[in-house]
Amino acid sequence: MASNEGLFGRLSGRTDNRLPESTDPQLHTHAGIQLMLDHQGYVTDIHGLQRYGLARSSGDGAPRLLLSYMVPGSTLALEGVPADWVGHSLDLDFQCAGLRVVHTRGWVQPQGDGWLLQLLDISDLRLGSQQASNRERCTQLTLGLSEQLRRCSTVRLPEVMHEALRSVAQHGRVPCMALAVRDEAQSGWYMHSAYHAFDAPELWTLEQNLGSLLEPFNGPAPQRVERDGNPRLNDLFGNADGVLVPYSDQQGLCAWLMLGFYPASLHGPQMSDSDWLQVCAALAGPLVGRLREQQHLQQSERTEALQGFLGAGWWEWSATSECLQLAPQLAANLTPTADLLPLTLEAWLALFHPADRDELRGRFNELLEHGKALSLFARVHQPQSTQPAQWYRIQGQAQGIGTRRRIVGFMLDVSDIKNQQQQIAAAHARLDNLIASSPAVIYVQRYAEGALLPVFFSDSLKPLLGWTLEECTSTALIEWIHPDDREQYFERTRQLLREGSARSRYRLRDRRGDYHWLLDEAKLLRDDLGLPVEVVGLWLDITEATEAAERVKSSEERYRILVEDSPAMICRYLPDLTLTFGNQPLASYLECTTGQLPGINLSSWLSSEQREAFVQRIEGLTPESPVSSAEISLQLPGREYAWWVWSDRGIFDEQGNLLEVQAVGRDNTELRRSQQQLTHSAKMATLGEMATGLAHEINQPLNVMRMAIVNVLKRLSNGDVQIDYLQDKLTRIDGQVQRAARVVDHLRVFGRRSEIEQKVFNPALALEGTLALLGEGLRGKGVKLRSEGLACDVQVRGHADQLEQVLINLMVNARDALMSKREADRDFEPWIALSIESDAQNVHLRVDDNAGGIDPRLLERIFEPFFTTKPIGLGTGLGLSVSYGIIDNMGGRLSVSNTGHGARFSVELPVVEVQV
Ligand code: ADP
């Protein structure tokens, strides 16, 4: 090697241990070393170009034995004296200055008196073979490591890699060594493995992120890192010399072997660049392969997991076997048993719903024959399943050509999406239908520079308002709004833009010109930047509700006014008689304000008997007959007794429980007080009525008697009075006197005061009395009396004369009605029918006429005092009222009804058991 020659050249200038110089100038130019030896092996002379620099092992004393020049170990080749060495090839190592050794090979031959040892420098050869064996060892080492890296388990890979780096570093005497690999996922570099000799600084750490630091380096050869090079790289190499050895494969540069603290002086003798490339390839090659394999594995695991999650999987059709392969997960989902696999085309198609099967078959055939990509949705056939349909998206395509042609595809479970789509579609349809059939319109108004332009109305617009979308411009809309409501509409728009939502009511004209009350609920939608985009709103037709509410409001108002202004006392109270409301007249009566009324208990004004009766009456109210009336007597502190005519109406809940009572009352005290007098004056009035009848009744007998007396007196003056004649006339006069006496007797009875104690009597007697009093007069007016069989054998309690007065009243009323009818119709034949009937409990006396009856609207009122239809001065309106009172007093009932001919007044009186 050239460097060795240089070494000897440099050493030649040194003065110490100098070899004896030859005197033969020719010998100096010979190659190698020529040593002249005497017979004992002492060096006598030295020649040759390489003689310089040889050093002796011991001092400077001569003569110098050959052995003293040599490296101690190499002397073993020499034994004895030069004569013994003849014919042997001698390999001798000489010590040179600086501990260098020169390897030589030579032989001895006699020369003159001594021996010539001719040596040739074989250092080159030795180095070459050393390097070869070194390389051999290195190759062996790296092959072994490479194999280990290839075979070890994934878990041990980092450990094995580290061990490999250690072996190589020690072999190549490199203090720090690391392997950086490209992170394919993140396209940067990181330190996969690092080794540092125990006395070397820790330059690198595991997993150290190198980023793009190594990017600028490329090329196939190792790169030297020199101290004054790239500062960042120097930093990485601890500002010391180093080497970067690249590894590339078909995917390009993918690893760097980094040698740290590896000075340039060490480069070469042990390991050449190509050795390092080889080492790097042996380590990085399997590592990168394993890492890729790992990545691939993870990738496929991820894909598989993803397919599992998505319910997706591949399928492949083999044209040769005419079978379809499915991804395992997919097959497990679709086919109940694994023995069906691989599937025939028919078996595969049979997995799908008949409704989708033909389309799938058709598409599949198109793919097979024409290579047209397949893509469709199909349901799985689940005949008896109640589960929602399982939908797959099936895609497939042809790949490759000729013999390498494959049909592959995937299936993706899209049940969720499909079922949701169907549900959404159904919900949409329902919603559309609902909107179309409801009194609501959904609208959208687009925002344009502060204005809202109608762009959409739901189909319900036409049925509801008759307008079409085209007609609904913003100007038209404002025009259709009721002039009184336009301000509301503008305010609604302003509020909408200001606050994002608005709710308003206004009237809108429809196509026919009618106004609809609309409830408008609108919301402003904004974009990501918060700028208004459009308004979505709803019109609800509330015409009916609004009008009904207004009606209720005005009727409530009317009702309130009615109650407030009513002269009657109106109140509401709870079942425990606590007032909850009372109107002004009630408050005035009680001398307080309306506000003080609620909370007062009605019972505080009632005597205990009155209260008991009142509560009993209220308890008797039912949802079926919720109304009851009575005359109640009140004791108001510091005041006289008051009589109120009181009418209650119960309000019930759904279960029939009484919630509250509404009552109307009228002060009846005055009326009540005058009742007694009224009864009396009524009697007097009736007496007046009867006067005519009485006069007639008494005049009749008087006339008969007068005529009889005149006739007797005439006979007496003529003197022809016969005793028979006289007897006859006197008997007749007596009859008439009795008749008059009877009438007078009745008059006496009629005049009795009613206070005297009630008596038991036969009601038939009262009928008879009445007929005796009125019968003649009626007949005289042409009224026919039907009164056959008026006998009766039961008794009633009361005053016979009062019952008689009642019957007289009834008959006088009947007569008046008959007379006024006959005034209109001369041919009219009036009649009055009297009857009496009895059962175990009651006796019924009836007065019927044929005067046409009473107007049904007046039926309820005729018993009221002062109610009369007769002309002023003629009727008092007291007859029936008084009669009612009398019958009531007797414990009976006076009622009226219309028959086919006229009115029927019925007197019902309780029968009294007579003790014998
Ligand atoms: P008055 O006879 O003074 O009018 P009443 O109390 O006796 O008072 O009668 C009240 C009213 O009842 C009468 O004005 C009459 O209109 C009606 N009325 C009574 N009896 C009959 C009847 N038999 N037919 C038709 N109307 C009758």
Mean pLDDT, range 234-263, rounded to an integer: 88
Residues contacting 106, CB < 8 A, separation 6+: 32, 33, 89, 90, 92, 117, 118, 119, 120
| Amino acid letter, 134 | N
Ligand 1 atom 8: residue of nearest CA? 877
Cα 771 to Cα 788: distance, rounded to the nearest angstrom: 12
Q: Is 833 touching ligand 1 by the criterion CB < 6 Å?
A: no
pLDDT band at 18 (very low <50, low <70, confident <90, very high): very low
CB atoms within 10 A of CB 693: 19
Ligand 1 centroid distance, CA of 809 (Å)? 9
Position 338 scores a pLDDT of: 64
Q: Which of 329-333, 379-383, 389-393 has the lowest mean pLDDT?
A: 329-333
Ligand 1 centroid distance, CA of 816 (Å)? 8
Position 636 scores a pLDDT of: 76
User: Which atom of ligand 1 has the smallest separation from the CA of 863?
Assistant: 6
Mean pLDDT, range 327-336, rounded to an integer: 80
Q: Is 58 touching ligand 1 by the criterion CB < 6 Å?
A: no
Q: Is 875 touching ligand 1 by the criterion CB < 6 Å?
A: yes
Tell the residue number behind the tokens 């696999």, with chain if given: 341
Q: Which of 545-559, 569-583, 686-700, 814-828 has the lowest mean pLDDT?
A: 686-700
Ligand 1 centroid distance, CA of 849 (Å)? 12
Q: Is 851 touching ligand 1 by the criterion CB < 6 Å?
A: yes
Mean pLDDT, range 259-268, rounded to an integer: 75
Phi, psi of 600 (to 5 degrees): -75, 140
Cα 112 to Cα 410: distance, rounded to the nearest angstrom: 99
Ligand 1 atom 16: residue of nearest CA? 869
Residue 914 has pLDDT above 80, yes or no: no
Position 850 scores a pLDDT of: 94
pLDDT band at 479 (very low <50, low <70, confident <90, very high): very high
Position 529 scores a pLDDT of: 87
What would you measure as the largest C-alpha separation in the chain, in angstroms? 256
Ligand 1 atom 23: residue of nearest CA? 814
Ligand 1 centroid distance, CA of 878 (Å)? 9
Position 98 scores a pLDDT of: 66
Q: Is 854 touching ligand 1 by the criterion CB < 6 Å?
A: yes
pLDDT band at 11 (very low <50, low <70, confident <90, very high): very low
Ligand 1 atom 19: residue of nearest CA? 813
Give the best-scoring range by mean pLDDT among 228-232, 337-341, 676-680. Answer: 228-232
Q: 3-class DSSP state for residue 233?
A: helix
Cα 795 to Cα 760: distance, rounded to the nearest angstrom: 6
Give the best-scoring range by mean pLDDT among 318-322, 565-569, 598-602. Answer: 598-602
Q: Are 114 and 44 in contact (CB under 8 A)?
A: yes
Ligand 1 atom 26: residue of nearest CA? 854
pLDDT band at 9 (very low <50, low <70, confident <90, very high): very low
Cα 132 to Cα 126: distance, rounded to the nearest angstrom: 10
Ligand 1 centroid distance, CA of 526 (Å)? 83
The beta-carbon contacts of 778-782 under 8 Å, at least 24 apart in sequence, are: 778/811, 778/815, 778/832, 780/696, 781/815, 781/819, 782/822, 782/830
Q: Is 508 touching ligand 1 by the criterion CB < 6 Å?
A: no
pLDDT higher at 227 or 842 = 842
Ligand 1 centroid distance, CA of 870 (Å)? 8
**How far, in Å, are 232, 560, 619, 622, 671 from residue 627 at the CA level?**
109, 21, 11, 8, 23
537 forms beta bridges with 443, 522
Q: Is 863 touching ligand 1 by the criterion CB < 6 Å?
A: no
Ligand 1 atom 13: residue of nearest CA? 868
Ligand 1 centroid distance, CA of 825 (Å)? 20
Q: Is 334 touching ligand 1 by the criterion CB < 6 Å?
A: no
CB atoms within 10 A of CB 577: 18
pLDDT band at 17 (very low <50, low <70, confident <90, very high): very low
Ligand 1 centroid distance, CA of 879 (Å)? 8
C-alpha angle with apex 600: 595 to 605, nearest 5 degrees?
A: 130
Position 685 scores a pLDDT of: 58
506 forms beta bridges with 518
Q: Is 156 touching ligand 1 by the criterion CB < 6 Å?
A: no
User: Which atom of ligand 1 has the smallest separation from the CA of 874?
Assistant: 3
Q: Are 709 and 734 in contact (CB under 8 A)?
A: no
DSSP secondary structure, 721-772, as one string: --HHHHHHHHHHHHHHHHHHHHHHHHHHHHTS-TTSPPEEE-HHHHHHHHHH
Strands 784-786, 759-761: pairing kind: unpaired
Q: Which of 679, 819, 880, 898 to mutate to test the pocket of ligand 1 (most atoms within 8 A of CB)?
A: 880
Query: pLDDT tens across 867-899, in order?
Result: 778 765 466 666 787 788 789 888 899 999 999
Q: Which of 862, 887, 898 to mutate to test the pocket of ligand 1 (most atoms within 8 A of CB)?
A: 862
Position 523 scores a pLDDT of: 93
Residues contacting 264, CB < 8 A, separation 6+: 224, 226, 241
Mean pLDDT, range 588-601, rounded to an integer: 87
Q: Are 20 and 36 in contact (CB under 8 A)?
A: no
Spacing of C-alpha 486 from chain mean position? 36
Residue 133 has pLDDT above 60, yes or no: yes
Residues contacting 560, CB < 8 A, separation 6+: none
Query: pLDDT tens across 353-381, in order?
Result: 999 999 999 999 999 888 899 999 999 88
**How far, in Å, are 485, 486, 539, 629 from residue 490 at the CA level?**
9, 6, 16, 58
Strands (E) in 363-422, as ranges, are 374-379, 391-399, 406-413
Position 19 scores a pLDDT of: 45
Q: Are 586 and 568 in contact (CB under 8 A)?
A: no
Ligand 1 atom 3: residue of nearest CA? 875
pLDDT > 90 in the chain, percent: 25
pLDDT higher at 195 or 877 = 195
Going along the chain from its start, the domains and CATH numbers come out as: 7-121 (3.30.450), 152-297 (3.30.450.40), 311-419 (3.30.450.20), 438-552 (3.30.450.20), 556-667 (3.30.450.20), 677-910 (3.30.565.10)
Q: Are 363 and 374 in contact (CB under 8 A)?
A: yes
Mean pLDDT, range 479-497, rounded to an integer: 92
Residue 258 has pLDDT above 70, yes or no: yes
Position 4 scores a pLDDT of: 36
pLDDT > 70 in the chain, percent: 87
Position 199 scores a pLDDT of: 87
Q: Which of 684, 868, 886, 898 to mutate to test the pocket of ligand 1 (most atoms within 8 A of CB)?
A: 868
Residue 687 has pLDDT above 70, yes or no: no
Average pLDDT, the chain: 83
pLDDT band at 429 (very low <50, low <70, confident <90, very high): confident
Is the entire prediction scored with pTM above 0.85?
no
| 530: its two tokens | 């918060």
Position 518 scores a pLDDT of: 92
Q: Is 879 touching ligand 1 by the criterion CB < 6 Å?
A: yes
Ligand 1 centroid distance, CA of 869 (Å)? 7
How do the residues of the chain divide into helix, strand and coil, expressed in percent and rounded to 5? Answer: 45, 25, 30
Helices first, then strands: H and E counts in the chain: 22, 34
Q: Is 585 touching ligand 1 by the criterion CB < 6 Å?
A: no
DSSP summary character for residue 322? T
Ligand 1 centroid distance, CA of 813 (Å)? 5
Q: Which of 808, 813, 846, 887 to mutate to test the pocket of ligand 1 (most atoms within 8 A of CB)?
A: 813
Q: Is 876 touching ligand 1 by the criterion CB < 6 Å?
A: yes
Ligand 1 centroid distance, CA of 767 (Å)? 20
Ligand 1 centroid distance, CA of 855 (Å)? 11
The beta-carbon contacts of 384-393 under 8 Å, at least 24 apart in sequence, are: 388/415, 388/419, 389/353, 389/415, 389/418, 389/419, 390/415, 391/415, 391/417, 391/418, 391/419
Residues contacting 847, CB < 8 A, separation 6+: 807, 810, 811, 814, 832, 833, 834, 904, 905
Q: Is 818 touching ligand 1 by the criterion CB < 6 Å?
A: no
Residue 187 has pLDDT above 60, yes or no: yes
Ligand 1 centroid distance, CA of 780 (Å)? 21
User: Which atom of ligand 1 has the smallest separation from the CA of 810?
Assistant: 20
| 347: its two tokens | 């078996």
Q: Is 807 touching ligand 1 by the criterion CB < 6 Å?
A: no
User: Which atom of ligand 1 has the smallest separation from the CA of 876?
Assistant: 3
Cis, bond preceding 286 (omega within 30 deg of 0): no
Ligand 1 atom 7: residue of nearest CA? 879
Query: pLDDT tens across 170-186, in order?
Result: 888 889 999 999 887 76
Query: pLDDT tens across 786-825, in order?
Result: 887 788 889 999 888 889 889 988 998 999 999 999 998 8
Ligand 1 atom 22: residue of nearest CA? 814
Q: Is 868 touching ligand 1 by the criterion CB < 6 Å?
A: yes
pLDDT band at 62 (very low <50, low <70, confident <90, very high): low
Mean pLDDT, range 900-912, rounded to an integer: 94
Give the closest residue to 317 by CA, choosing from 410, 197, 250, 401.
410
pLDDT higher at 266 or 142 = 142
Position 800 scores a pLDDT of: 85
Cα 284 to Cα 289: distance, rounded to the nearest angstrom: 8
Q: Are 454 and 473 in contact (CB under 8 A)?
A: yes
Q: Is 870 touching ligand 1 by the criterion CB < 6 Å?
A: yes
Q: Is 849 touching ligand 1 by the criterion CB < 6 Å?
A: yes
Q: Is 877 touching ligand 1 by the criterion CB < 6 Å?
A: yes
pLDDT band at 325 (very low <50, low <70, confident <90, very high): confident
905 forms beta bridges with 847, 896
Position 694 scores a pLDDT of: 61
Q: At what angle do helices 669-718 and 723-750 cross, to 10 degrees?
A: 170
Q: Is 867 touching ligand 1 by the criterion CB < 6 Å?
A: yes
